[in-house]
Structure 1
Amino acid sequence: MNALRKVGAVAWAAVGSLLLSGCEFNGWYDVQLPGGAAADGHAYHVTVEFRDVLDLVPQSAVKVNNVTVGAVEEVQLDGWHARVRLRVADSVKLPANAVAELRQTSMLGEKYVALSTPPGTAPVGRLGDGDRIPLSRSGRNPDIEEVLSALSALLNGGGVAQLKTITVELNKALDGREDRVRSLLKELNTFIGGLDGRRKDIIHALKAVDRLAGRLGKEKKTIAQAVDTMPPALKVLADQRRDLTRMLTALSKLGTTGTKVVNASHDDTVANLKQLRPILQQLNKAGADLPNSLELLTTYPFPRNAVDAVRGDYVNLDITADLDLSALYRNLAGGSDKSGGGNGESTQPETPDIPDLPDLPTVPTPTALPSAPSLPSSPRCRRPRRAAAVRCARRCAPAATPPEESRPRGSTSRSQS
């Protein structure tokens, strides 16, 4: 009997092994919970990629707005990230750009996958069977173990031990200075607000500085040469230090004297400028007439363009004259045309009357001139030498008789008498 029982047990074990090897069985993870979501087969499948799934296992819940709508079917490793296959009920409608997040039901609860619409982004399309949610739209919340580990690192060997010292020192620093600190915080708030308001200008200035730095980087060789030539230039300035100091001292004295002069002559200068204002206003009204007149002054009486007409010692001129005989007569004779053709007064002004000139004084009759004395006899001339020939000729020449037109009236010569 015992042998038969042993044989039967072995047979049943073999049959069970064959059954298990013929069908894939992953243990109790393949068993769906009764009453679970999407248990009736009306569901679609979605694949989500996670960088870290922690302790997520198959048959974990899939929720939308904290309502279970499906379950996790499979968790696989794909390279350096995990690929999770979800089963979601057909009645759940999600956009094609939905996001997936790994959350925890409570502090020590189980993990589940939460599906939702993308925050801050308009939903697009609809999530369907076989769709994939990439790593860019998946994530997870911090685990309670991670929070406790970070808190432990802070409390053990962290900066908590120094918090008391920091608090005591802050109390000592702020004791009696609350008003100043409050005012400082207000000013700091205003300053930061001003910086925030000028954010665009600051960004523009930083970009300009970046462009300037780029240009300076391109001119690195030129800048290096300039830096190399600076020491000799500084040496020259150092050698001229005394002269520069004297110059600056003299310039300071000149500035002091100039200030005194300006202060002393302030009233006179203002008065002169006020008196100069009408002249400048008239010059301003003259406009271009004054420079044109000065330009004509250098070539008067001809304009400057008449230089092209000069041909040697003569000038070619072409004059077009439009003469009105009646107007010419009025200008020469004076007065206005009274007949005027019946059109009113003449446009030409009347010529003023010329006053009569006084009579010239009478010329007095000249009196008779006295008779001229008799002329002495001419001396006998010797034969002059060569040097005295001219003097002898002048001395021996007879007196010239003036012409009758130049003789005065009433005078007679000796020969006539």
Structure 2
Amino acid sequence: MTARTLRVLAGAVLAALLPAGCGLPELADLPLPGGAPRGDGYAVTAEFSDVLDLVPQAAVKVDDVTVGSVEKISLAGWTARVTLRVDADVRLPANATAAVRQSSLLGEKYVTLAAPPTAPAGARLVDGDVIPLSRTARGAEVEEVLAALGLLLNGGGLAQLRTINQELGAALDGREPAVRDALSQLDTFIGGLDKQKADLVRALDALDRLSGRLARQKQTLGEAVDSLAPGITVLARQRAQLTEALTALGELGEVGTRVVNRSRDDTLADVRALQPILEQLVRAGDDLPKSLDFMLSFPFPPNVTGAIVGDFVNLSVTADLDSASILANLVAAAPAPARGAASPTAPRPPGRPSAGGSTTVPRPGDGTGPLPGLPLTECLPDPKDFPATWTPPKDCLLPEGCVLLKPGSTVPLGGLILPKGLVPPGTAFPAGTELPAGTVLSAPCVLPVTGAVTGQLGDLPDLLGGGLRP
């Protein structure tokens, strides 16, 4: 043994004895290199299903920047719990994600923290928070990639690619124009879809809303389908009867077709024969319903219902004894003077108003009222503003309860309707007074038929002066 060898052995023994005797740290107590945060940080626990060969003191990175280190790795059941020490200046959302990555193909493992890619960021991640399994992941190992590649090369479909290529070439051989045209049409079709992308998105959104509404009403739809079961069962039982009914209906249709075809000429002849009758009915117009109304009270007029009392009829006669008109008609004299105009030579009888005033004569029934034939403007409603029920003023001296009803109103008992709007004789209004067509007179407006005779006396000057006076 040489002196050099002895010196080496002595140095080794001295190096082994010095730590034990002088209190130097052992090799296991030496700290491992790593990116520990500077100063105080906060601890976060991440749960992984597999941490690969991640070791304590491994780096913790955010956007490829080291912000902390792995403080501890423990096992809780089948879940690995990794305690991370992160620099206090690093701000991360409470729903941050964690993943185990590899710095290079053969590099070390580290943990990367990041904000959620799709979900909105939550509150800030603080000391003691836990990142659950649903927000952690790990990268693929080189061994896994090589194993998958080996599976593809050995037992995959690469051997069939050549066959597929050959068959595809044989199928397209000589059909290049058709394939080119198909690709062109496909490009046009895809372009049209791209232009209608907004419409398609709206349609899909509407379909999504419809699907959601149907999903919310799933129970109601289920109950509706269940309630259809009895009806479908009844239809199934009566299928034979329904089939026979449809068959009979088909036969009836055939019979009806034959009848219509054979009677077509006769039907057309009957319609042509009815044409003159229908034309005459159209020309008759309102006369036909009026005549039917008159038939109900024949041989009396329709307003005679108020004159029938028990088993007898009250009748009255109104005689116009205007002497001037009578003489003019009998001896072809000059036309009768206008009513109300006094004769310049005839003396004015007592009670007769002076010329220029309103002329009145007794009205049958009460002995007062306006002269028949004169317009009663203040006693008639405005045709443009006809109320449902119009009551004449008391100054008109009309019978109490005499009102006018708007056209289209129901005719009261004993009332009178004016189809053409002209007032006939025998009412409280002068004959010939124009009212809106269809106006209804109440029963008090129709003069009562009592059978009494109203007489008037006078001498020849009174006759020649324009009428008899009381």
TM-score w.r.t. the length of structure 1 is 0.50
Name whichever structure is richer in helix by fraction. Answer: 1
TM-score w.r.t. the length of structure 2 is 0.45
Larger radius of gyration: 1
